[in-house]
Amino acid sequence: MSVNEQIEQIVKGNDVVLFMKGTPMFPQCGFSARATAILQQCGSKFHHVNVLADGEIREGVKAYSNWPTIPQLYVRGEFVGGSDIMMEMFQSGELQKKLAGG
Amino acid sequence: MFHASEIKRLIEAGLPGAVALINDDAGDGEHFSGDVMAPGFATLSLVQQHQAVYRALGRHMGTDIHALQLKTYTPDQWAKSPHAKNGA
């Protein structure tokens, strides 16, 4: 299975997916830590993928979403954004709506 | 090492009519933040606005530039923002 298919399976197989550096317990980058905190603040369950554990996924997900950095959030198969956009949407309440199915 | 002025030049060259204010917050030539206004943003979603800025930066983004914390503005939002008052 190609990296793209792997990513597609993860993204389509889980409602909320965060590709991040490290894990929610031990984030390895400030932006990944902030993205995790935002999702936890929303009370949202999410599947996380530690891109540091898989170099192919780390590069593959950037091509998949045409987004050059990590973290990356997907909700119901749709790329939502990185930590800046998550923060902006969280502050406007848009993220909570999207996570709740809006 | 990358310079804020180079990021500003690339963004303003890549996005017609754009204004980019870029800061090298950490002073390390890798972590930057910036406010970018472009007329074209008015028809784009937030993600698309950021992607347009990243496209203007090409292969530098995610390599030379480790992180670029972005705040994007349509011309209307820019006019209502603090940037408009101090003529930036």
CA-nearest residue to B51 within chain A is A67
pLDDT of residue B66: 86
pLDDT of residue B87: 55
The string of DSSP codes covering A21-44 is SB-SSSBSSHHHHHHHHHHHHTT-
Q: Residue B1 pLDDT more than 90?
A: no
**Regarding beta strands B19-23 and A72-75, do their DSSP bridges make them parallel or antiparallel, or are they unpaired?**
unpaired
Q: B51 contacts in A (CB within 8 Å)?
A: 66-67
Q: What is the pLDDT of residues A44-101, one digit of tens each?
A: 999 999 999 999 999 999 999 999 999 999 999 999 999 999 999 999 999 999 999 9
Within 10 angstroms of residue A9's Cβ, the number of other Cβ atoms is: 11
Helical residues (DSSP H) of chain A, grouped into ranges: 3-13, 30-41, 55-65, 83-92, 94-99
| Contact predicate B39/B77, CB 8 Å | no
Q: What is the pLDDT of residues A16-35, one digit of tens each?
A: 999 999 999 999 999 999 99
State the DSSP H helix or E strand holding residue B10, giving kind and residue range, or none if neither: helix B4-14
Query: Which residues 41-70 in chain B show a CB within 8 A of chain A?
Result: 46-47, 50-51, 54, 61-62, 67, 69-70
Distance CA B50, CA B45 (A): 9
Query: Above 0.95 for ipTM, yes or no?
Result: no
